Amino acid sequence: MIFLDAAATTPVRREVLEAMWPYLTGEFGNPSSHHGLGEAAATALAAARATTAKAMGCRTGEVVFTSGGTEADNLAVKGIALARRAADRHLDRVAISAVEHPAVEESARYLARVHGFAVDVIPVDQYGQVSEEALAEVLGPRTALVSIMYANNEVGTVQPVARLAALARALGIPFHTDAVQAAGWLPLDAGTLGVDALSISGHKLGAPKGSGALFVRGRTRIEPLVHGGGQERGRRSGTENVAGAVALATALTLARDPAERVAALRDEFIEAVLTGVPGAELTGHPTERLPSVASFCFPGTSGESVLLELERQGVICSSGSACAAGSDAPSAVLLAMGIEPEVAQTAVRFSFDSTVTADELRQAAAAVRTAVGGVRSLRTPS
Ligand code: PLP
């Protein structure tokens, strides 16, 4: 099997499993307990927080451990918008890009449905990028928060986050970025990016599902979504997932710079597919894209048939985001980029982890040629 669906999830890395193992077994203490076992857990949690803070270029007190990317996005979008409006009732708008993951989009929709916010959706260009002009157009004195992802999960397009964040911050508007797909591939330094909040998820980079973190800058007010014992400085109650935090921190440390090697392999793969499959179209930005994502449309096929054919040949990939998989509707991300619905329905995404090899991608490109050719010949009556 050649697994090219790493943007959906990745296996737990052996080093990560070894690092977390003690906190699932012998060192199983609750970090709030005042005995040796509890203190050992608290020490491990503090070390994981320090490592995560280093990876995010922030202070330890600015890291909130969560159950993953979805929770981090919810906490950022709802928590910051609600806290800002509580301080000033005129702040009743949130701005998000047209290509956000549902974790951000649905959080914004919830703010509209339940709390009366208005949602400004910032359009993207044909490559899925937000321009400074498009962002400036929607920002106003009522904007409570901007949320624009760092890198897109379906097409891999990377946003000019530092420039967009600077624009919002110049107007005093907090800026959140969903860095779930960027983590492990792009620098996460919150200072350089100039963001006020940034979400990451463990299972995209070799830690288990159910681990994640949100960076929240210094004094940014944030309304907690989960109430209880006041853990995570009151921003996220609940007994901490010590093993998950250790796993996330370890995965972040291991994710050191495979980016250039993988980007070169991605480019060769894109070239092989575009030259080998007549009519294949690359989706997303040609250069400003994640090293780990190559996404295409194959007009004249159906994405689902190509996927099935590829799986028969041992290549596992996806039609877009795992969250939208199984739905017949064409991807909202591709539609926002101006791709026609019948073409959007032919989308296939290949996404790699850091272990991907040239040989695997050569085999995958050959499989794509056969699969697309096969599906097209079945659809074209002779
Ligand atoms: N944001 C993006 C861009 C993602 O790709 C994903 C997962 O696919 C998420 C958020 C949600 O993360 P999690 O699966 O950890 O809840």
Cα–Cα distance between 188 and 295 in angstroms, integer? 23
Q: Which residue lies with its CA nearest to atom 9 of ligand 1? A: 69
212 ligand 1 Cβ < 6 A: yes
Looking at the domain covering 14-29+48-254, what would its CATH class be? Answer: alpha beta
> For position 374, what pLDDT does the model report?
86
Distances (CA, A) of 196 to 11, 21, 76, 166, 171: 30, 33, 9, 11, 13
174 ligand 1 Cβ < 6 A: no
Q: Which residue lies with its CA nearest to atom 10 of ligand 1? A: 69
Is residue 168 classed as helix, strand or coil in its secondary structure? helix
> For position 14, what pLDDT does the model report?
97
H/E stretch holding 253: helix 242-254
Residues of the chain with pLDDT under 70: 256-257, 321-328, 380-382
> For position 258, what pLDDT does the model report?
78
Q: Is 297 a catalytic residue?
A: no
Residue with tokens 């977390």: 20
Rounded to the nearest angstrom, the distance between the alpha carbon of 348 and the centre of ligand 1 is 18
Atom number in ligand 1 closest to CA 8: 8
Cβ partners under 8 Å of residue 359, min gap 6: none
Domain at 2-8+258-379: CATH architecture? Alpha-Beta Complex (3.90)
Residues 90, 93, 96, CA angle at the centre, nearest 5°?
Answer: 160
153 ligand 1 Cβ < 6 A: yes
> For position 327, what pLDDT does the model report?
62
CATH 3.40.640.10 domain span(s) along the chain: 14-29+48-254
> For position 255, what pLDDT does the model report?
87
CATH 3.90.1150.10 domain span(s) along the chain: 2-8+258-379
From the candidates 58, 297, 317, 323, give the one annotated as an active-site residue.
323
69 ligand 1 Cβ < 6 A: yes
Cα 289 to the chain's mean position, in Å? 13
Cα–Cα distance between 178 and 109 in angstroms, integer? 16
